[in-house]
Amino acid sequence: MLAACSSEPPSSSRASYPSTATVVTPRAQEFVVLFNTGEAALTPDDQQTLGTVATTMRTRPGARLTVVGKADTIGGTADNLSLSERRAHAVRNDLVAVGVPPDEIQVSWTGEGQPNVPTGNHVSEPRNRAVHIMVE
């Protein structure tokens, strides 16, 4: 004798499922733009990276965008602080140019004060000549 089968779970088991959906928040994404010594100019490759950042922002409404300029220890402390500011603003301005609303971009700079790679004074370290971009 065969019994009828149903693909539906019994009504009593449906009641045990939660009635709310779980929202999964996308992970933070980090992008890095590197610079030549003493410069704040963006290359075509950098601009392509910033285009990717803009696309990421469009796919994540409400995301926060943080831009942090940095410098290595070549040059004086005050000069490096100013240079890291120029780098951060160069990135911000390019992001605005490719469609990221200015009010969605938080900009800061650290000069040589928070290096990615700790070094002594007057050390040329490419990874410290950077702008870090976080999409959260």
Q: Give me the residue label for tokens 């088991």.
A: 13
pLDDT for the residue numbered 104: 95
Residue percentage of the chain with pLDDT more than 90: 79
Domains annotated for the chain, with CATH where assigned, are 27-135 (3.30.1330.60)
Nearest C-alpha neighbor of 101 from the set 56, 60, 57: 57
User: Which residue type occupies 11?
Assistant: S
For 119, the 3-state DSSP assignment is: coil
For 10, the 3-state DSSP assignment is: coil
For 12, the 3-state DSSP assignment is: helix
User: What is the side-by-side order of every strand in the sheet holding 130-135?
Assistant: 29-34, 130-135, 65-69, 105-109
Q: pLDDT for 18-27, tens place per residue?
A: 556 665 667 8
Q: pLDDT for 33-90, tens place per residue?
A: 999 999 999 999 999 999 999 999 999 999 999 999 999 999 999 999 999 999 999 9
Joined together, the tokens standing for residue 93 give 């301005």
